Chain A
Amino acid sequence: MGSLERFNGRRSGAGKPIAVLSHGFGTDQNAWSALRPWFEQRFEVISFDLAGSGPRGTETYDFERHGSLAGYADDLLDILDEQDVQSCTYIGHSMSGMIGALASIARPELFERMVLIGASPRYLDDDGYTGGFKPDDLENLFDSMSANYQAWVAGFAPMVVGVDDSEVIADFSNALFRMRPDIALNTSRTIFTSDVRALAAQVSRPVHLVQTSVDVAVPVAVSHWLAQAIEGATLDIIEASGHLPHMTAPDEMTRILQQRLDRTAR
């Protein structure tokens, strides 16, 4: 079985430049539903479910390989190589932001440019760096996840969505419920304990950062850090709250994509 099939991937719209959509933690590729039509008009779109997510999540997740973001980056590179993609526009949300960044350092030629939504190279605060979380915050998070996963999802989902959008909250909750709890716990450990700042600073491809002004997972300070660290990166801040602007603020997202990508895509 090829990697695209293994990760439940979809590829549509042959002949146009390629866009790769990679979702974030707690969602699957359905997170792109609102933006997909916009992309499909302009690109040949490849999307897939990350290891551990979607209907195949239990089969695709490897506790060792996916114990670091590098394992996901290798999955992404496997898909691109097997699909014979020579160059793509990469759109990564949340954890997929740094997954794409790592993959682009390993194989810069494959990434024409990247849009990173709500990305963070480190979630823990550090000297001179605001990640947004303290070690105690994370321990509490992991504890409540392992104590009662259902109850944790019920509290976590509305907080991350950040706006009173019951449909998105329901979608996000359902995708989280579909993850096996031990995989969800290990994935969140991998994400929240990651620190790829040194590598993020080495990204050599054009990067467009997008984030909302109020995001429980990623403070605005993180995006400013990334914008400064990555040479030539642009940063668009959406005046809204929530970690999932591609789901809760698709119009605003489209406007930004139009502005950042359309000029070069045509």
Chain B
Amino acid sequence: MADSNALVSLSQFARTASGADLAIVVEVQTDGRVAWSTGSPVTSFSGFNLARSGMLEHAWNDQPVDASRFRLPTSILTALGGPAGSVLFIPAPSDDAPSSGLLLLWKTGASPEQCAASMALLGPSVAQLLSARRGAVHDIVVRNQFIDLVESVPAGIVLVDGDGLGTVINQRAAELLGQKPGRHRAVDLVAPMRALRQRCDNHEALEQAYAAQVGNLNFATTLHWVMGERTFEVDTHPVRGDGEQGRIWLFTDITADLLMAAELRRLASSDPLTGVPNRRHFEERSAQIIAAREATGRSVAVLMLDVDHFKKINDIHGHPIGDEVLKVVARRCRETLRERDLFARFGGEEFIALLAAPTADEVPATAERLRNAISGAPVHVGGLRIDVTVSVGGAMGEALPGSDARLLEQLVARADEALYQAKADGRNRVRMSG
């Protein structure tokens, strides 16, 4: 650093001119601790304390003093290479370090006094250089802290200066923009920012949202930038520095968060054994479907399906086999139904389907297809070949305005009754509610 080099030269000059054996510039904190030093012929050493030395209290008048009047720290003695004979301190109070100065030491006796007297002229230069050095060190520390901070945030950061000319981007933002991290001219980042936006699946919506804010210095918003499988939450808001208005862009990759949220929703609405929706999801979703049908007065149908003699399958083969049978039943049913039909595990070995807008003859036909899908081929599981059948009960109704949740209740109750009838009539058959 330029200032410390100048201080080395200055102490070399002072030592040569005064005939001293050691010249050191010491930056002394208010508690007497030497925070930094440089000198001639030794280089930097610090951490020693001058508070007890008696030197800081002495009224220096440019005259070397017998060193035995002071308690010099051992560090100084080590640097000098032995005990000191005379010492002269030239105070150079600098910002935040009022006890700083230039220290001249002679191993033996006093020095040429006329030369020592002129040394006092160096005081202001030492003080000025020490202040400049402190300022420079402070700036470096602050800059390093800023860089550490910016790089420690798990987000891409684009920080536009208040004057709109300079921009700093961190490593993550640099990767997104295909640029080098660090300082850039703001104009040089306009094109990469636009290119990034245009790569987004939703770039039209983004262009619209941002275009509406052109010229608004207080513009603050958070939008999702969707890039294929990855989604970034992009927050931009003004930042104030030096009384001028800068702007920050924060890019946070929320892909994992979104996937997690979707997975949690799926887990909450599906049956863990068979993977088809659970009863709660069925009820929520069918209420929505019925509500959507109400205006048009179109029909809906419910099919209840129950595995025949399921308890016997469990008793003979054990629960793990029983579970596998339920999985196969669920899969075959799902494959038999149309995409838009809702199918769920209702509980135990009971399943339920909601057929949206079927015609009158479609309902028993679908029920028959379901029955056939199960009984048509034995279930192969764990090397076993198990014949499985189901009984199906169906009910149909019209989604009239105001029928709401009660329609579903009624359909489920009627389908359940029909199912009971199918069981009573000998199982492996379909019965429709009158």
Contacts and interface: CB of A to CB of B under 8 A. Distances in A.
Interface stretch (B69-77, B239-247, B278-286, B410-418): B69-77
Interface in B35-61: 45-49, 52
A70 B75 contact: yes
A113 to B, nearest CB: 19
Interface in B1-54: 45-49, 52
Contact of B82 (A74, A107, A202): A202
A106 interface: yes
Contact of B78 (A63, A66, A196): A196
A4 interface: no
A181 interface: no
Contacts, number: 61
B81 interface: yes
Q: Dominant SS at the B interface?
A: loop
Contacts of A66: 47
A256 B82 CA distance: 30
A73 B186 CA distance: 56
Interface in A33-52: none
Interface in A79-101: 81
A78 interface: yes
A74 B74 contact: yes
B48 A77 contact: no
A106 B73 CA distance: 8
B123 interface: no
Given A62-B47, A66-B47, A68-B45, A103 B74 contact: yes
A106 B75 CA distance: 10
Nearest to A71: B47
B83 interface: yes
Contacts of B72: 106
Q: Dominant SS at the A interface?
A: helix
Given A64-B46, A202-B82, A102 B74 contact: yes
B71 A81 contact: yes
A82 to B, nearest CB: 9
Nearest to B72: A106
A106 B49 CA distance: 14
A63 B35 CA distance: 12
A224 interface: no
B75 A74 contact: yes
A198 B46 CA distance: 21
A181 B83 CA distance: 35
Given A198-B81, A199-B81, A199-B82, A106 B74 contact: yes
B301 to A, nearest CB: 73
A97 to B, nearest CB: 14
A70 B49 CA distance: 11
Contacts of B75: 68, 70-71, 74
A196 B79 CA distance: 10
Interface string B303-346: 00000000000000000000000000000000000000000000
Given A81-B71, A103-B74, A71 B48 contact: yes
A67 B47 contact: yes
Interface string A53-77: 0000000001111111111011001
A66 B47 CA distance: 8
Contacts of B71: 77, 81, 106-107
B49 A74 contact: yes
Contacts of A106: 71-74, 77, 83
A105 interface: yes
A107 B73 CA distance: 10
B47 A102 contact: no
B74 A65 contact: no
Contact of A102 (B46, B48, B52, B78): B78
B77 A102 contact: yes
Contacts of B47: 62-67, 71
Nearest to A102: B74
Contacts of A67: 45, 47
A202 B83 CA distance: 9
Nearest to A65: B47
Contacts of A78: 52
Contact of A70 (B78, B82, B83): B78
A199 B78 CA distance: 7
Interface in A199-217: 199, 202
Given A70-B78, A74-B49, A105 B73 contact: no
Interface of B: 45-49, 52, 71-75, 77-78, 81-83
8 contacts: A62-B47, A68-B75, A70-B48, A70-B74, A70-B77, A71-B47, A74-B75, A105-B83
Interface of A: 62-71, 73-74, 77-78, 81, 102-103, 105-107, 196, 198-199, 202
10 tightest Cβ-Cβ pairs between the two chains A and B: A64-B47, A65-B47, A73-B74, A70-B74, A70-B75, A70-B78, A106-B74, A102-B74, A64-B46, A106-B77
Given A67-B45, A74-B49, A106-B83, 10 more contacts: A64-B46, A65-B46, A69-B78, A71-B47, A74-B74, A78-B52, A102-B78, A105-B77, A199-B78, A202-B82
